Amino acid sequence: MKSFIFYLLSFLFLGSVMAQDTIIGPKSEWKYYDGDLSLRKKWKTHQISEGKWKKGNAPFGYGYSDINTIIDFGKDNDQKPIISYYIKEVFIQNSSEALVYELKLRRDDGAIVYVNGYEIWRSNMPDTKDDDPDLVALSIVDGSNESVYHTKLIPEDVFVKGKNKLSVAIYQRNRTTTDCMFDLQLVGHTDAKYFSYLIKSQEGENKQLNEQLVNLSFQQELLKKDTDYKLLEQSNGMNKLLKNILLLLLLVGSLVFLWYYKRLKEKLKKRKTIYQRLKKEKAITDREILNNSLFNLRHNQYLNEIKMTLNGMLQKDAVSQMEIKKLIKNIDGNLNQEEEWQKLESQFNIVHTSFFDKLKKHCPSLSPTELRHCLFIKLLIPTKDIAKLMNIGPRSVQTSRYRIKKKMNLEENLEDFISRI
C-alpha cells in the first residue's frame, strides 16, 4: 500500500519531468555460453563454473547481417543447440531514482529473462518449468518480426542498490533453425507517464491472469465433471471386463501349468530312466574292473605265497636247489604286481574321474599306499580282502584307516567321506 501511494504521489508531482537513464545500451558487452550443455540453475546468479564462457558485444547470433558477435552452433546444421546463455552485471547507484525500468528485447526465437536469479519475463515461451529438458520456443520468428524489439516495463523494486545480475536464455524452436538473435537494452525512466504505462500494463497482465485463472478453473470443473461421467459410465463395463480378464487369465494359467507339469513330468521320467541305465552300466563296469583287478592281484599274491614256500624249501633241501631256483625264477617272471596296480588305477580313474586328484587336493601328504587303501574303500572291498591285497593283517588295515582319517583331519566317518568323492 505504501509503495502504491509513493507511485501515485510521484505521478502527481513529477508529471512534468521528462528524463531517462540508459543502463544497458546498444552494442553492450555480455558474457555468453554457446555450447550444447544444458546448464544448471546457478548460471542465473552468474555462478558459471560449468561450460566455457566467452565475451562479445550485442547483437549476438547467426543468420543475420547486423550481428556483432557470431555464436557457435556446432558442425552439424541439423543438430544446433536449442539454448544459448547470456549474463551481464550492471551497477545501479540508487534503484529508486527511476520510477520505471524498461527492457527492450530482440530475440529469435524465444527468451526468458532473469534479474538476480528471479524470472521476470518470458517472450514467445510456454509456461512450463525452465528446467524442462524438452523446453523450446513457442513459434519460429521470421519475416518482419525478426527486427522487432519487444518491450516490458518493470517496477523499480525489481532491482537492488549496487550490483544487479541480468541473465537471459535464448531458445530455438528446433535444432534445424537457420538463425538466432539476441539483443537487450535496459533504460530507467523518471518520466511519470511511464509509471502510468506500467500501471496499465500490470492491470492488463492481472486481467489476463484472472481470465486465465477463471478459464483454467472452468476447464478443470468441466474436466472433473467429464471425468466423473466417464468413470460412472465405464464402471459397470470395467467391472465386467476385469471379471472376464481374470477368468481368461485363470484359464490360460491353468492350461500353462498343466502343459508345464506334463512336460516336466516327462523330463523327470526320461532322466530317471537314463540315470538308472547309467547307474546299472556303471555298477557292471565297476564290478568287471574290480573282478579283473582283484583276480590279477590275487594271482600275484598266490604266486608270492608259492615263492615264499619254495624259498623255505630251498633252505632245507640242498639236493633240489637247482630246480627250485629255476621255478622261483619263472614265478618272478610272472610277478608284475606294480604293473597290475597301475592298470587298476587307470581303469579306476576312467570310472571315478578325478578321484585321486580330489583326495590329493584335500590332503597332499597321502602316500601311494594310503591312496590305494582309499581306492579299496571306494570300491566297498571288505577289510579281510584289503588285508590280503595289501599283504597286511586286518588290524593293520584298521590302523591305516585311522592314520588316513587323522591326516585328512576328518570329523566324520572316513568311508562316508570317500563315498561322496
179-234 pLDDT per residue, tens: 999 999 999 888 878 777 777 777 767 776 677 777 777 788 888 888 877 777 77
pLDDT tens column, 392-413: 888 898 999 999 999 999 888 8
Q: Which residues pair with 22 in a beta bridge?
A: 187
Residue 126: asked if its preceding bond is cis (omega within 30°), the reply is no
Write down the residue that cell numbers 587298476 correspond to.
Answer: 344
Q: Is residue 13 over pLDDT 60?
A: no
Question: If pLDDT is split at 50, 70 and 90, which confidence band does 302 have?
Answer: low
Please, are residues 379 and 286 in contact by the beta-carbon 8 Å criterion?
yes
pLDDT confidence of residue 384: 86
* 352-421: CATH topology: Arc Repressor Mutant, subunit A (1.10.10)
Residue 109: asked if its preceding bond is cis (omega within 30°), the reply is yes
Question: If pLDDT is split at 50, 70 and 90, which confidence band does 39 have?
Answer: confident
pLDDT confidence of residue 97: 78
pLDDT tens column, 95-154: 777 888 999 999 999 999 999 999 999 999 998 888 888 999 999 999 999 999 999 998
pLDDT confidence of residue 68: 97
Q: Which of 72-76, 123-127, 343-347, 417-421 has the lowest mean pLDDT?
A: 343-347
Question: If pLDDT is split at 50, 70 and 90, which confidence band does 295 have?
Answer: low
Question: If pLDDT is split at 50, 70 and 90, which confidence band does 8 have?
Answer: very low
Question: If pLDDT is split at 50, 70 and 90, which confidence band does 66 have?
Answer: very high
pLDDT confidence of residue 10: 47
pLDDT confidence of residue 61: 96
SS3 293: helix
Give CA–CA dist 160/164, Å, rounded.
7
Question: If pLDDT is split at 50, 70 and 90, which confidence band does 6 have?
Answer: very low
Contacts for 176 with CB less than 8 Å, ≥ 6 apart: 77, 78, 80
* 19-190: CATH topology: Jelly Rolls (2.60.120)
Please, are residues 303 and 335 in contact by the beta-carbon 8 Å criterion?
yes
Q: Quickly count: other Cβ atoms within 10 Å of residue 289's Cβ.
A: 19
Per the rule left: phi > 0, alpha: psi between -120 and 50, beta: everything else, 285 is alpha
Give CA–CA dist 159/156, Å, rounded.
6
Give CA–CA dist 159/94, Å, rounded.
9
Share of the chain above pLDDT 70, in %: 83
Give CA–CA dist 356/362, Å, rounded.
10
pLDDT tens column, 342-390: 777 877 877 788 888 899 999 999 998 888 899 889 888 888 888 877 8
pLDDT confidence of residue 110: 97
Q: Which of 50-54, 322-326, 329-333, 386-390 has the lowest mean pLDDT?
A: 329-333
Grid cell for residue 330: 619263472
Q: Is residue 15 over pLDDT 70?
A: no
Give CA–CA dist 168/39, Å, rounded.
12
Give CA–CA dist 175/131, Å, rounded.
18
Q: Quickly count: other Cβ atoms within 10 Å of residue 8's Cβ.
A: 12
Q: Quickly count: other Cβ atoms within 10 Å of residue 103's Cβ.
A: 23
pLDDT confidence of residue 57: 97
Q: What's the whole-model pTM score?
A: 0.49
What does the domain layout of the chain look like in residue ranges? 19-190, 352-421
Contacts for 325 with CB less than 8 Å, ≥ 6 apart: 314
